[in-house]
Structure 1
């Protein structure tokens, strides 16, 4: 499939996904998206899909593509959850901005690795580690005060959810590591 065909499919998939809240808004008041919500969701979904298409198309290795998919999904979920409800407290808690460091580590690490499997594995492991460190800083070191202060955050819920998100980055790293080992093995 050519790049333009992949982008066209991605546009159609994004539009189809955006139809779900649009249709839901016609039947319930529980879903109340604004134009900016649709623009944000479209940009995030299309951007994540485009990133996957561009990264995965250069490697004819199923494990590599799966690793790229998990890594992109981890980034998409991080952005979506952070914008929707926040990862520590509400979406208005400024500590949530710290999670941008996870995306920076993953992105810069991937570029530095030239998207090669072993380097990508290190970048995804570093992103998982950064995720854990950012969560610890957001919960225990930097506690917002004043208007940004929030009622007691359910610590167990926050740790569980953030642990699951960090695990996605680690799984992506493990899959990239396996893809690198398969590429380095003679006869495969």
Structure 2
């Protein structure tokens, strides 16, 4: 009788512990949200010390919406899989999307932010998003989708250089070349991580 009670007590404790692990939020998953909070607080703090940073409510709303979307997508990916490489791949892709949108809204890549040629970068994002849905977010397919996104990024940069779009800017063509390489590299790093995730999943399969 006593042994039975002891076994039940241990089983209950084990169940409670397992439930805590299952429902608890790992510290690493709170990091993106903390970083998002710091990012949105940075301009608010800077405005108190310098007149070079002048933001209005619209700026904060747009940044807040972008950060919320980015963190939400990463949280969804974290809930879907425990594959570290897959999560890292999603994280890199999210960072690339966030910076690409923000730079275009703030200053533009091809000339100024008012240059309609910058709308081509929406096509770059469309390639990645459409590709992700076509492959159903499977890691091997995502690797191919991100390679296609990198090629689309390079194509936009080449078109801008050949057509001379944004040539009136002081930093042309260096800024187009530099940022094209930067974003293409991020897409390719994400693709490599997705490929690693696919290999890990294949190795873990029975």
Report if aligned partners of 1:55, 1:115 keep a CA contact under 8 Å in 2: no
- Take 1:38 and 1:143, find their aligned partners in 2: how far apart are those partners? 30
1:111 to 102, 120, 133: 133
Alignment partner, residue 29 of structure 1: 51
Residue 178 (1) aligns with residue 196 (2): yes
Report if aligned partners of 1:98, 1:138 keep a CA contact under 8 Å in 2: no
1:84 to 106, 122, 130: 106
Report the Cα offset of residue 33 of structure 1.
Answer: 0.4
Structure 1's consecutive aligned runs of 4 or more residues displaced over 6 angstroms after TM superposition are 3-6
Q: Deviations over 1:95-149 (max 9, x none)?
A: 11100011111111111111110011011111101000111122323737xxxx8
1:161 to 175, 179, 186: 179
Q: Deviations over 1:68-99 (max 9, x none)?
A: 10011111111011111111111111111100
- Take 2:204 and 2:142, find their aligned partners in 1: how far apart are those partners? 21
TM-score where L is the length of structure 2: 0.79
Alignment partner, residue 130 of structure 1: 152
Aligned residues: 183
2:80 to 58, 62, 67: 58
Residue 121 (1) aligns with residue 143 (2): yes
Report if aligned partners of 1:67, 1:176 keep a CA contact under 8 Å in 2: yes
- Take 1:3 and 1:125, find their aligned partners in 2: how far apart are those partners? 35
Report if aligned partners of 2:111, 2:165 keep a CA contact under 8 Å in 1: no
Report the Cα offset of residue 25 of structure 1.
Answer: 0.8
Report if aligned partners of 1:52, 1:68 keep a CA contact under 8 Å in 2: yes
- Take 2:42 and 2:186, find their aligned partners in 1: how far apart are those partners? 26
Alignment partner, residue 39 of structure 1: 61
Gaps of 5+ in 1: none
Alignment partner, residue 70 of structure 2: 48
- Take 1:120 and 1:101, find their aligned partners in 2: how far apart are those partners? 17
SS of 1:179's partner is helix
